[in-house]
Structure 1
């Protein structure tokens, strides 16, 4: 039992980025920032804003600000760890180094659920917008192929399945190609969002802001717990750590830069939208398009719908990208079958992991309806953020001498605030969501003791804790590029 709490040596973790199963460093600061924006902006604006407005009212603006503050604390923690240990795995890897194998497995298991459901749910949202667009063009898709199984006579959500398959093909071509596709689509959706703000601001009715907090502070924090989903994506930047050039500089820029850009756009959209339409009318599947139709701007419907499709496309892409890297890292450590850590020559992409992710996401997106899905994703992400903040505190205490390319300021204050905000937001989620999450955790622990425990990194060769490695010296610098 003692070995399940053994920790991964930082020195060996960094060596993982220099062996035959490493990924190719091909993403620079601009590409990484755009990747973060691509992962963040999408479902938050085009789907979640409507649902959250029902809880917070016009104070949705405050809900976005609170969620942004909580994410900022977490982003600073991510920037420290990802720049110091620039390898695949994100919080899974950081937990392995600071807490041990069993906790790393639990964290990886949580993140697999988070990214799987996030990518599948957003693909379902993508399908709704795509069906609306082709319908507006006079093309009626048969109900049997345009929705979740059993809903409205549908057997399969074919558009959702197709977008996942297309993005799987993009990811197989490698991180650099994925980043290029993401950048093009991000520019389209940001242009559409700016168009909405420019047009919508002309139709703001100040009376729609009254009462500003119809449900008090409770509604504001409930809205924050919902729109927290909107910010998920900046954490995906950390998953690309092993594929970034000069990670000590690039990763902090990518994480913090994408969060700042996205926060500004979110707050602006929330302010304009709740000014255009009474908040009690916004709770629908396409709040942005509805707001424009409500004020009579029919010409913008097609443009906004195209922007929504673009926005949701990049969110699916980034979530699938991140999930494949988590599976790759767990496989490289022996906690999942080794086949998932195979790297394709040339593009240096974990193709087997990507194909697994694509297959699972396609099945879920094609046949399932994702009610309350955003909250289930949120509890997984918030749990990861708690583990991340704890990892920063632990490593600062155990290894203060390690060189950190970026240091989270005001430690322990920032990590502690990150933990407090995360726990507070989890407390706002529905009880049944917490129960489903607990069942997933129990299943993960059972699988670990049935499989992972006997095939982890300590089975083939006992690894020593950093302090036990004879002659070990903390790394003076992190790998930059190849």
Structure 2
């Protein structure tokens, strides 16, 4: 760990009328002095770990849930929906990369927006990001339970009602894992994502060869957009949940080694890798069955595609890959949720005791509890699919504001603003990124929009009740 003062590394805040926090040393070694209340997290995550967080969070629902649903909505043009989602994500990943190299601190989008646009915007984004990640994490963990039960069914084993119990057990396990050290969570993420990518690449290579007739029988050609092109946009809004993971890299920016190089590579690289795999997956899946037949399989479409290529063993392997995908998504989301809580509490937008760091493991254990606890409650309730969609709404709002934040900081840059990576093209990319992010929200379901707006209104209420007197300090 490194020494940090309230006015320096993490840019903390004080509530008006309160005494500033003291810098009392509580532990001294030859290398560092750790201060109570003002501790910067260790930089233990390299480029591979950053890519694993981004890819591991994104490569869940996009490949294992959406192909059948998206094919039913847009036909083979669902591939264009995934490609459009990747383009929107890239338009945000580039501005986020510039901001992250200028402010490589935990909190990601919250931190960027609060320093560029002030406490009110920061409070709304910070609280919304925390809750959005909680809902998404619960969704991933319930998905894990469902895949685990499906594996039992595939091999003919008894399958009692284990979905919620398995989700709860693994939710606790991932929270504890993250408490014991970020490097432990990152190591798990690296292994899981590496194995998952190996399975998917092999599957897609064979499926691609089958689709073009190199093996098996050539597939019959199909109209690319049988329902027209408007469904391409509505389906892009539906599947954009698949691209939330790149922003999770920014939430752990304070723990990334060599952030000037690794943050842009991890964020942009994860979008490119996952976007290419999504498009390839839709191509392979619709070539195997045709979009109409594929849509009949719903959320289990990829299992049936694997069964078509490889029989029962292929179905089991894809089910196991689904388990790995939900594990990696849940693990990365819990890590990111805790860092969102950590950053907002450091700024006193949430109670400052939530930013305490465990001196043994160097992790924000209280913030992890504030992440894991609500996740377990939502898992027990079980109705998390709508909340996961709302998470996409809240992230799109944050993505649009990230682009606005970059424009504002460039127009009147403070003395500390010195990014290692600069987005080319002046304001063009952040302007288009903001318009695309806010524009996708228009195509979401009205209920998701209403719930998302209600959460943001609640965050505004929290700001006026608790954080309106907070004075944010500089980013560096």
Q: TM-score range by the shorter chain?
A: 0.7 to 0.9
**Distance in 1 between residues matched to 2:209 and 2:48, nearest whole Å:** 33
Tell me what 1:210 maps to: 222
Tell me what 2:183 maps to: 176
Matched, 1:338 2:352: yes
**Distance in 2 between residues matched to 1:54 and 1:356, nearest whole Å:** 38
User: CA deviation digits over 1:26-57, x for unaligned, max 9?
Assistant: 11122211221111111211112222222111
Structure 1: gaps spanning 5 or more residues = 1-9, 147-156, 467-473, 476-482
Tell me what 1:3 maps to: none
Alignment of 1:246-285 (within 5 A): 246-283=258-295, 284-285=298-299
Q: CA deviation at 1:326?
A: 0.6
For residue 88 of structure 2, the aligned residue among 47, 61, 70 is 70
For residue 424 of structure 1, the aligned residue among 432, 439, 455 is 439
For residue 310 of structure 1, the aligned residue among 324, 338, 349 is 324
**Distance in 2 between residues matched to 1:450 and 1:424, nearest whole Å:** 31
The verdict on how the C-alpha distance between 1:301 and 1:184 changes in structure 2, with shifts beyond 3 A counting, is same
Matched, 1:448 2:460: no
Alignment of 1:54-203 (within 5 A): 54-143=72-161, 145-146=162-163, 157-203=164-210
The verdict on how the C-alpha distance between 1:170 and 1:434 changes in structure 2, with shifts beyond 3 A counting, is same
**Distance in 1 between residues matched to 2:366 and 2:166, nearest whole Å:** 24
Q: How many residues align?
A: 441
**Distance in 1 between residues matched to 2:425 and 2:130, nearest whole Å:** 31
User: CA deviation digits over 1:432-476, x for unaligned, max 9?
Assistant: 11111111112222222222235x3x3xxxx67x6xxxxxxx97x
**Distance in 1 between residues matched to 2:294 and 2:381, nearest whole Å:** 27
Q: Is the 8 A contact 1:60 1:270 kept in 2?
A: yes
Q: Is the 8 A contact 1:208 1:277 kept in 2?
A: no
Q: CA deviation at 1:389?
A: 0.2
User: CA deviation digits over 1:109-132, x for unaligned, max 9?
Assistant: 221222111111111111111001
For residue 255 of structure 2, the aligned residue among 240, 243, 257 is 243
The verdict on how the C-alpha distance between 1:64 and 1:111 changes in structure 2, with shifts beyond 3 A counting, is same
**Distance in 2 between residues matched to 1:139 and 1:126, nearest whole Å:** 17
Tell me what 1:286 maps to: 300
Tell me what 2:21 maps to: none
Q: CA deviation at 1:79?
A: 0.5
Tell me what 1:471 maps to: none
Structure 2: gaps spanning 5 or more residues = 1-5, 13-33, 212-216
Q: Is the 8 A contact 2:107 2:343 kept in 1?
A: yes
Q: Is the 8 A contact 1:208 1:276 kept in 2?
A: no
Q: Is the 8 A contact 2:219 2:288 kept in 1?
A: no
TM-score after normalising by structure 2: 0.88
The verdict on how the C-alpha distance between 1:391 and 1:132 changes in structure 2, with shifts beyond 3 A counting, is same
Q: CA deviation at 1:372?
A: 3.8
Q: CA deviation at 1:282?
A: 3.0
User: CA deviation digits over 1:159-218, x for unaligned, max 9?
Assistant: 111221111111112211111000000011111111221332354376565121012111
For residue 63 of structure 2, the aligned residue among 34, 40, 45 is 45
User: CA deviation digits over 1:386-436, x for unaligned, max 9?
Assistant: 110000000000117732100011121000110121122111101111111
Q: Describe the SS at the equivalent of 1:89.
A: coil
Q: Describe the SS at the equivalent of 2:39.
A: coil
Range that drifts further, 267-276 or 382-391: 267-276
Matched, 1:367 2:381: yes
Range that drifts further, 29-38 or 409-418: 29-38
Q: Is the 8 A contact 1:120 1:364 kept in 2?
A: yes
Tell me what 1:298 maps to: 312
Alignment RMSD (CA, Å): 2.2
Tell me what 1:32 maps to: 50
Q: CA deviation at 1:12?
A: 4.1
Range that drifts further, 323-332 or 188-197: 188-197
